[in-house]
C-alpha cells in the first residue's frame, strides 16, 4: 500500500518538477514578452498543481481524519491556483498588449503583427 | 543632504549594534523572558482563558490594551489619509487619462474576481472564527476581507464598489469596530471588573469566568475585523483614485 | 535542538540571502512600480522566514498585509505620483 502511494507521489512531483523546468527554460529562452508569458502561465500553473497533488497524496500515508483534512486543504489550494494563475497571466498579457509591446518579428520591420488598428489601441 | 542621511543611518546602526550586546543570547533559557514570562503564558493560558492558541490569548486578553490602541492607530491612519487626500471637486475631464484596459474585453478578469471574492470572504470569516485554535485572528481576517473588496474594485472599477458601499457607510463601520472593542472593555467596568477584564462578562453570558474570557476575545476580534476591513477599503479608495473617488486604478 | 532540525540550514541561508537581495534591489530600482513589486517579493520571503522560525501567526500577518494589501496600496500610490524616482 505504502509502496504504491509512494510511487504516485514521486510520479506527481516528478512531472511537476519537469514542467517547472520547462517553464523556467521557456521564460529564459523565449524571444519576446508574449511567448515568455505563455511559458510562465501554463507551465507554472500545471507544475504547481502537480506538485500540490503529490503533497496531498503524501498526506494519505496516515489515513486518519486530520491528514485527510490537510489533503483536502492542499487540493483546495490547487483549485485556487487553477483559477488565479491563468487569470493573472491573462491580465498581465492584456496590460502588455494595451501598452503596445511589440511582437517577435516586428523589430526588424519585416512582419507587422498588429491585430487591431492604431486608432483602436489607445 | 545624502551624506547627512548616510551619517545618521550609520550612527543609528552602530548604536543599535552596540545595544544588542546587552540583550540576552538568542534562545537563552536563563533570560528573564524565558524564565518568567513565556513560561507563565504557556502554562496558564489554557486554564485561565480556555484558548488553545496562546498567541491569540496574549494578544487579545493579557495584552488587550496594546491591541486596542493598535486598532485605534489603524483607524487614525485611515482618517489621516482621508483628510489629506479627499477632494470633493472634480478635475476637468480632459486631464483624466483613459484607462489602458479596453472596456468590455476584460470579462475573464471580472468572472474570475466574481468567483474568487466570495471564497476570500468565507476564508476571512474562517480565519476570524478559528483564531482561537489556529493562527489567525481579527487582523489577518480583516485584511483578507478588505482585499476581497479591493479585488472586486480592481476587476470592475472603483465607482462600482462605491455605488454599493457608500463612503459614509465605510467610515461608519470603521468607527464601529473601535467602538465594539472599547465598548466590550467599558461594559466590564460597568459589571464591576477592570477595563478589558472579560471575566466579568460571565454575569451576563451565564457561563463560567474562563469561558467568558474566551467569548470576550471573540468579541474584540470581531471589532478588529470590522475596523481593519473598512479601513483597508477606505485606504485603497483614497490612494488609488488620488482622492477623487472616480474610476480608480 | 529537536524542534528546528526539520529545516536544512542551506535552505535557511538561501532564504536569508533572497531577503537581503530583494531589499537592496527594492531600494535601488528607479522605477517605483518595479520597486513596489520587489518589495512584495521581499515580504513574501520574510513570510517564509517567519514560518521557518515557527512563528506562524507573524508569517500569516506578513503574507496578508505585506505581500498582499500593502503592495496594492504602493502600486495605487505609485501610479499617481511621478513614476521615476530622482535619486
Distance from CA of C58 to the nearest CA of B (A): 9
Residue A119: pLDDT over 80: no
Residue B36: pLDDT over 90: no
Which chain B residues have a beta carbon less than 8 Å from that of C72? Answer: 147, 150, 154, 236
Residue B168: pLDDT over 60: yes
Are B146 and C69 an interchain contact pair (Cβ–Cβ within 8 Å)? yes
Locate B84 and state its grid cell. Answer: 489629506
More confident residue, B27 or A69: A69
| CA proximity to B141, closest of B151, B152, B131 | B131
User: Range of B76's domain?
Assistant: 63-87+129-249
Domain boundaries, chain C: 9-78
C65 in B contact zone (CB under 8 Å)? yes
Residue A113: pLDDT over 50: no
Nearest to A83 among B101, B106, B116 (CB): B116
Phi, psi for residue A112 in degrees, rounded to 5: -110, 120
User: Can you list the alpha helix ranges (DSSP code H) found in chain B?
Assistant: 2-19, 32, 38-49, 54-57, 64-85, 107-129, 138-155, 158-164, 167-190, 202-205, 209-241
User: Range of A67's domain?
Assistant: 2-121
Are B108 and A90 an interchain contact pair (Cβ–Cβ within 8 Å)? yes
Instruction: Give the separation between CA A22 and CA B228, rounded to whole angstroms.
Output: 42
B89: left (phi over 0), alpha (psi -120 to 50) or beta: beta
Instruction: Give the separation between CA B169 and CA B171, rounded to whole angstroms.
Output: 6
Instruction: Give the separation between CA B68 and CA B62, rounded to whole angstroms.
Output: 12
Tell me the residue length of chain C.
Answer: 87
- The helix/strand/coil state of C84 is strand
More confident residue, A88 or B92: A88
User: What value does the mean pLDDT take over residues B81-98?
Assistant: 68
Distance from CA of B73 to the nearest CA of C (A): 15
Per-residue pLDDT tens for A17-50? 999 999 999 999 988 888 999 998 889 999 999 9
Residue C69: pLDDT over 80: yes
The answer to whether B and A touch (≥3 CB pairs < 8 Å) is yes
The answer to whether A and C touch (≥3 CB pairs < 8 Å) is no
How many whole angstroms from its chain centre is CA B223?
A: 9
Q: What is the ipTM of this complex?
A: 0.85
Number of domains in chain A: 1
Distance from CA of B204 to the nearest CA of C (A): 32
Instruction: Give the separation between CA C80 and CA C87, rounded to whole angstroms.
Output: 19
| CA proximity to A47, closest of A24, A66, A64 | A24
Inside any domain, residue B69? yes
Inside any domain, residue B247? yes
Instruction: Give the separation between CA B114 and CA B111, rounded to whole angstroms.
Output: 5
Q: How many CB pairs under 8 A join B and C?
A: 50
Instruction: Give the separation between CA A41 and CA A44, rounded to whole angstroms.
Output: 6
Instruction: Give the separation between CA C43 and CA C74, rounded to whole angstroms.
Output: 13
Are B100 and A95 an interchain contact pair (Cβ–Cβ within 8 Å)? yes
Nearest to B150 among C72, C77, C79 (CB): C72
pTM for this predicted structure: 0.85
Q: What is the mean pLDDT of chain B?
A: 86
Distance from CA of B27 to the nearest CA of A (A): 31
Neighbours of C (≥3 Cβ pairs closer than 8 A)? B
DSSP C18: H
Q: What is the mean pLDDT of chain A?
A: 84
Locate B146 and state its grid cell. Answer: 478588505
B144 in C contact zone (CB under 8 Å)? yes
Please give the span between the terminal C-alpha atoms of chain C, in angstroms, as a whole number: 46
Inside any domain, residue B36? no
Are C68 and B147 an interchain contact pair (Cβ–Cβ within 8 Å)? yes
The helix-helix angle for B64-85 and B167-190 (nearest 10°) equals: 160
Amino acid at each position: 500500500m505504502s509502496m504504491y502511494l509512494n510511487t504516485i507521489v514521486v510520479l506527481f512531483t516528478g512531472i511537476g518538477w519537469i514542467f517547472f523546468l520547462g517553464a523556467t527554460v521557456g521564460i529564459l529562452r523565449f524571444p519576446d514578452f508574449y511567448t515568455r508569458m505563455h511559458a510562465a502561465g501554463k507551465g507554472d500553473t500545471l507544475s504547481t498543481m502537480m506538485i500540490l497533488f503529490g503533497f496531498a497524496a503524501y498526506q494519505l500515508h496516515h489515513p486518519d481524519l486530520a491528514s485527510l483534512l490537510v489533503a483536502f486543504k492542499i487540493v483546495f489550494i490547487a483549485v485556487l491556483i487553477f483559477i488565479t494563475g491563468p487569470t493573472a497571466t491573462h491580465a498581465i498579457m492584456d496590460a502588455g498588449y494595451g501598452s503596445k509591446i511589440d511582437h517577435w518579428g516586428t523589430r526588424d520591420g519585416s512582419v507587422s503583427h498588429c491585430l487591431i488598428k492604431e486608432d483602436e489601441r489607445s | 543632504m545624502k551624506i547627512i542621511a548616510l551619517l545618521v543611518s550609520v550612527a543609528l546602526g552602530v548604536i543599535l549594534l552596540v545595544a544588542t550586546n546587552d540583550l540576552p543570547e538568542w534562545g537563552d533559557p536563563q533570560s528573564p523572558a524565558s524564565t518568567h514570562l513565556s513560561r507563565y503564558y504557556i502554562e496558564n493560558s489554557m486554564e485561565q482563558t480556555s484558548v488553545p492558541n496562546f498567541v491569540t490569548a496574549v494578544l487579545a486578553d493579557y495584552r488587550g490594551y496594546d491591541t486596542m490602541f493598535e486598532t485605534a492607530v489603524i483607524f487614525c491612519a485611515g482618517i489621516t489619509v482621508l483628510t489629506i487626500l479627499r477632494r470633493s471637486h472634480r478635475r476637468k475631464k480632459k486631464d483624466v487619462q483613459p484607462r489602458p484596459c479596453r472596456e468590455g474585453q476584460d470579462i475573464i478578469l471580472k468572472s474570475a474576481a466574481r468567483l474568487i471574492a466570495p471564497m476570500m470572504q468565507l476564508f476571512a470569516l474562517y480565519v476570524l472564527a478559528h483564531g482561537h485554535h489556529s493562527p489567525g485572528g481579527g487582523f489577518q481576517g480583516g485584511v483578507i476581507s478588505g482585499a476581497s473588496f479591493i479585488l472586486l474594485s480592481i476587476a470592475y472599477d472603483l465607482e462600482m464598489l462605491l455605488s454599493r458601499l457608500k463612503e459614509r457607510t465605510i467610515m461608519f463601520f470603521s468607527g464601529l469596530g473601535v467602538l465594539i472593542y472599547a465598548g466590550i472593555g467599558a461594559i466590564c467596568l460597568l459589571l464591576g471588573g477592570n477595563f478589558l477584564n472579560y471575566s466579568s462578562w460571565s454575569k451576563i453570558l451565564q457561563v463560567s469566568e474562563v469561558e467568558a474570557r474566551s467569548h470576550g476575545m471573540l468579541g474584540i476580534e470581531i471589532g478588529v475585523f470590522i475596523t481593519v476591513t473598512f479601513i483597508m477599503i477606505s485606504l485603497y479608495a483614497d490612494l488609488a483614485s488620488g482622492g477623487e473617488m472616480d474610476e480608480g486604478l | 535542538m529537536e524542534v528546528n532540525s526539520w529545516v536544512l540550514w542551506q535552505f535557511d541561508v538561501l532564504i536569508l540571502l533572497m531577503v537581503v537581495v530583494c531589499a537592496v534591489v527594492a531600494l535601488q530600482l528607479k522605477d517605483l512600480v518595479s520597486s513596489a513589486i520587489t518589495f512584495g517579493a521581499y515580504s513574501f520571503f520574510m513570510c517564509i522566514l517567519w514560518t521557518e522560525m515557527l512563528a506562524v501567526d507573524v508569517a500569516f500577518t506578513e503574507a496578508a498585509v505585506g505581500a498582499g494589501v500593502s503592495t496594492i496600496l504602493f502600486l495605487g500610490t505609485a501610479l499617481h505620483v511621478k513614476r521615476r524616482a530622482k535619486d
